[in-house]
Amino acid sequence: MSREGVPIVLTADRTLMSEYGGGIFMGFSACIPKGLIPDRLYFSLFCPPVKANEDGSVEVAPCGTRKVEATLLNHGFRREDVIVAHPEHLDKVVGPRTRALGITENDPLGIGPATSTFTGIFGGEAYMAIKFRELLNNPAVKRFKPKIIVGGPGSWQ
C-alpha cells in the first residue's frame, strides 16, 4: 500500500475484528470491563484478531462493513480507492490521500444494554468503548484528519 494512503478506509474497533474462536456468544465479551480478565488472555482466548494482510487489509470483517464496501464499489468507486483495514494497521492505509474513515461500531460509548449491565455489576469501562477511542486517537488518524463516519448498531450514540 502506498504511503499516501487510501482515499476511503473502512474499519471496526478491535473487539469487532474477531471471529471469537467460533463461539457464537463470545462477541458479548466486548461488553465486559477492561481489567476483569488480563488483556493478554482476553485478546488471545475471547477475542483473537482476524488475519491482517501485508497491506493492512482484512479477509474477514463485520457484515455491515462489507456491505458499505460493496455499495461503494457498485456505485463507481474503484477497488484501489476503498479498503477494509485492520484497526491495528491503520498506519499502513491512512495517509494524506485518505478522505474518509468509516468505523463500524456496536457500542462506542459503552452505554448499550449489555455493556451497561456488565459495567454496572463489575465497574470499569468496556473494551469496546476503549478500543473505539483508540481508533479516534490513532496517530495516523490524528495526523491526516480524515472525515470520520461512524456507522453500525451503535451509531445512535
pLDDT digits (tens, 9 = 90+) for 81-107: 999 999 999 999 999 999 999 999 999
Interatomic CA distance for residues 39 and 20, integer angstroms: 15
* Single-letter amino acid, residue 11: T
Residue 100 lies in a domain: yes
Residue 2 lies in a domain: no
- Report residue 78 as a C-alpha cell: 474503484
Task: Please report, to the nearest 10 degrees, the dihedral formed by the alpha carbons of residues 77, 80, 82, 86 taken in order.
Answer: 170
Average per-residue pLDDT in the chain? 95
Residue 27 lies in a domain: yes
> Comparing C-alpha atoms, which of 45, 42, 84 is closest to residue 63?
84
Section 147-152 average pLDDT: 97
pLDDT digits (tens, 9 = 90+) for 124-147: 999 999 999 999 999 999 999 999
Residue 58 lies in a domain: yes
Displacement of CA 135 from its chain's centroid (Å): 7
> Residue 42's domain spans which residues?
8-156
Interatomic CA distance for residues 40 and 140, integer angstroms: 25
Domain count, the chain: 1
pLDDT given for residue 118 in this prediction: 95
